[in-house]
């Protein structure tokens, strides 16, 4: 009897201990939540055209301890997932090097069709224990359109470049989580799912970009870059009245759906932000605006160009002597000699004014690839520096800085914040925040701006001006620029950047367009007027044509 009591007591003890351990194991198995991915927000153009969106996808995950024949499995699924057997097997071996790893991801970002085909395969030939883990696949329906601006995501759905990176927190949303009971082998128990927190889906970003204009600008830019045998190019279209970016094109471009193949390749960077270059004569409009606004010159002041001027024992030259000129003449003639005289006259005041236009600073736009440009050191600033800056050398700028400086010059003197995001929507499309025109500062007076519009119109409309940008019946203003590139402190005669900044209509500018073509070849006859101005003209003509068509249907 005593022995029986002891036996029963031991059994009860072990039964209680076992039940307690089972409960603990169950709690343990259930206590590690799975993430519920939020759907990443869309990126849309101003008219609602989708530039980036996420779709449901699945990752194939296998239990390594229940994989009977990995080689056979990889051989069978290879054609379905479009990856060769050896690559799948190499990845599998690499991912199973850690003996603690039980669940191994074999293939990522699978479609529903691929999932069903694999399920049928494994059902007919059960050679492993598997599951499909929910994921997302980012798709870019317009492929190359605004590629360097929109950017792309990595395998973990995190933005790696462009808007995808800059606005990742808004787009990505907040994950939810859920738990399952699992068997001792680590597999989920069917029907045991419990959702702890639902995800908050990412926000949609509506851009100021017009996809139709963006696409056409890109095709025109590509045509001219290839025609010029150039290294690359950039074209930007801005509304100078409110600061909205309508198009931002870089060439060469790439397919965003293959974005990870281009990580770190500067050739495909967003040149509007990342291209640091000496602007050349397009910068003369900034100098003239500064000199007018500060009272160093008037439109009627006459200056003489004899073809060359010496500053601190350095020659500054023009191609030909321009004789005696007033403001409209020496801007149209792009006279280095006269601008060097004006630069010396202004001295450090010119540098102050340049900084007022945000040159040498990052513009307030949330894109990480942006360069700030380079200004001379004030401790070493001299008459020669002032003379050089006056016509766009000894200074480095970005295309984005240059076009927003022009926007201020022609819009009445208001420096506008670059406007890229038009509105933010929640995941249902409801607008939760709008962005409007924002004036950062007044940089020149209304009177100075009006005078500059007049003289810049003369640059294009005068028979001796930049006729390559002229469109019959359309009042256009603008300025050319050609600059030599510097390598290791030495200017290269065979490497130039050709630019043109133009706007229309001049009485109330609606479109402002910057074009810069990098290293056209051969360079001996490459100028802003011959290389960049025709690009501007093609873009402007196309915009005017679609506006006419649009008005015809109103």
pLDDT in tens, 500-519: 999 999 999 999 999 999 99
Q: What percent of the chain shows pLDDT beyond 70?
A: 90
**Distance (Å, whole) CA 108 – CA 89:** 14
In this chain, the answer to whether the domains covering 52-137 and 211-552 adopt an identical fold is no
Cα atoms in the Cβ-side hemisphere of radius 13 Å centred on 297:
28
Q: Is the pLDDT of residue 10 over 50?
A: no
Reported as a single tens digit per residue, the pLDDT across 202-241 is: 999 999 999 999 999 999 999 999 999 999 999 999 999 9
**Distance (Å, whole) CA 280 – CA 64:** 63
Helices and strands: H and E segment counts in the chain: 17, 21
Q: Is the pLDDT of residue 250 over 80?
A: yes
What is the rounded end-to-end Cα distance, in angstroms, of the chain?
A: 104
pLDDT of 93: 82
Cα atoms in the Cβ-side hemisphere of radius 13 Å centred on 50:
11
Tokens read off for 294: 């500060």
Tokens read off for 90: 């190499």
Q: Which helix (H) or strand (E) holds 75?
A: helix 70-81
pLDDT of 553: 45
Q: Band of the pLDDT at 338, cuts 50, 70, 90?
A: very high
pLDDT of 121: 77
Domain 211-552 has CATH 3.40.710.10: yes
Cα atoms in the Cβ-side hemisphere of radius 13 Å centred on 480:
28
- Its CATH architecture, for the domain 52-137, is Alpha-Beta Complex (3.90)
Q: Is the pLDDT of residue 24 over 80?
A: no
Task: Write the burial class of residue 276 (CB in 10 Å: 0-12 exposed, 13-18 middle, 19+ buried).
Answer: middle
pLDDT of 8: 45
Q: Is the pLDDT of residue 424 over 90?
A: yes
Q: Band of the pLDDT at 393, cuts 50, 70, 90?
A: very high
Q: Band of the pLDDT at 427, cuts 50, 70, 90?
A: very high
pLDDT of 33: 78
Sign of the C-alpha dihedral, residues 396, 397, 399, 402? negative
Least-confidence region, from 11-20, 200-209, 445-454: 11-20
Max avg pLDDT among 51-60, 61-70, 217-226, 256-265: 217-226
Q: Which stretches of 414-493 are DSSP H helices? A: 446-461
Tokens read off for 15: 């039964």
Q: What percent of the chain shows pLDDT beyond 90?
A: 70
> Quick one: which of 479, 331, 299, 316 has its CA closest to 405?
479
Q: How many CB atoms lie within 10 A of CB 220?
A: 22
pLDDT of 191: 61
> Quick one: which of 258, 51, 308, 22 has its CA closest to 171?
51
Q: Band of the pLDDT at 163, cuts 50, 70, 90?
A: very high
pLDDT of 17: 45
> Quick one: which of 108, 163, 110, 144 has its CA closest to 257?
144
pLDDT of 307: 95
| Mean pLDDT, residues 97-113 taken together | 83
Tokens read off for 239: 């509304």
pLDDT of 23: 46
Q: 496, 526 in Cβ contact below 8 A?
A: yes
Q: Band of the pLDDT at 54, cuts 50, 70, 90?
A: very high
| Mean pLDDT, residues 278-296 taken together | 98
């Amino acid at each position: 009897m005593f022995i029986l009591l002891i036996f029963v007591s031991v059994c009860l003890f072990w039964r209680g201990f076992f039940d307690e351990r089972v409960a603990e194991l169950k709690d343990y198995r259930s206590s590690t939540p799975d993430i519920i991915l939020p759907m990443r927000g869309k990126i849309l153009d101003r008219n609602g055209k989708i530039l980036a969106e996420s779709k449901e996808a699945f990752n194939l995950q296998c239990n390594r301890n229940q994989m009977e024949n990995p080689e056979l499995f990889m051989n069978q699924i290879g054609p379905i997932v479009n990856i060769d057997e050896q690559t799948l097997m190499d990845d599998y071996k690499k991912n199973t090097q850690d003996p603690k790893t039980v669940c191994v991801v074999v293939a990522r970002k699978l479609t529903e069709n691929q999932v069903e085909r694999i399920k049928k395969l494994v059902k007919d030939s059960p050679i492993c224990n598997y599951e499909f883990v929910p994921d997302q696949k980012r798709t870019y329906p317009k492929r190359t359109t605004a590629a360097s601006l929109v950017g792309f995501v990595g395998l973990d759905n995190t933005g790696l470049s462009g808007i995808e990176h800059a606005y990742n927190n808004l787009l990505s949303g907040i994950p939810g989580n859920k738990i399952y009971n699992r068997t001792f082998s680590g597999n989920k128990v069917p029907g045991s799912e419990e959702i702890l927190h639902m995800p908050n889906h990412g926000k949609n970003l509506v851009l100021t970009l017009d996809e139709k204009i963006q696409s056409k600008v890109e095709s025109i830019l590509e045509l001219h870059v290839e025609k010029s045998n150039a290294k690359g190019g950039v074209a930007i279209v801005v509304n100078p009245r409110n600061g909205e970016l309508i198009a931002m094109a870089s060439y060469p471009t790439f397919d965003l759906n293959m974005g990870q193949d281009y990580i770190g390749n500067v050739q495909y960077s967003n040149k509007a932000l990342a291209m640091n270059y000496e602007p050349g004569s397009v910068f003369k409009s900034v100098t003239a605006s500064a000199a007018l606004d500060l009272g160093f010159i008037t439109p009627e002041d006459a200056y003489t160009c004899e073809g060359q001027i010496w500053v601190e024992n350095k020659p500054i030259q023009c191609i030909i002597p321009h004789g005696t000129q007033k403001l409209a003449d020496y801007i149209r003639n792009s006279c280095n000699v006269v601008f060097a005289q004006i630069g010396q006259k202004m001295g450090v005041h010119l540098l102050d004014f340049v900084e007022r236009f945000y040159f040498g600073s990052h513009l307030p736009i949330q894109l990480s690839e942006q360069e700030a440009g380079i200004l001379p050191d004030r401790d070493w600033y001299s008459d020669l520096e002032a003379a050089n800056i006056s016509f766009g050398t000894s200074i480095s700028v970005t295309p984005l800085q240059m076009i927003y400086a022009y926007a201020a010059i022609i819009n009445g003197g208001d420096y506008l914040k670059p406007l890229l995001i038009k509105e933010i929507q929640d995941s249902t499309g409801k607008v939760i925040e709008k962005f409007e025109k924002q004036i950062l500062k007044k940089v020149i007076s209304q009177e100075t701006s009006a005078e500059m519009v007049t003289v810049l119109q003369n640059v294009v409309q005068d028979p001796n001006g930049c006729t390559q940008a002229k469109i019959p019946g359309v009042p256009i203003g603008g300025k050319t620029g050609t600059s030599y590139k510097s390598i290791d402190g030495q200017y290269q005669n065979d490497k130039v950047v050709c630019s043109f900044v133009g706007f229309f209509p001049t009485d109330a500018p609606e479109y402002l367009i910057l074009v810069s073509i990098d290293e056209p070849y051969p360079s001996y006859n490459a100028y802003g007027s011959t290389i960049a101005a025709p690009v501007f003209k093609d873009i402007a003509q196309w915009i005017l044509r679609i506006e006419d068509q649009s008005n015809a249907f109103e």
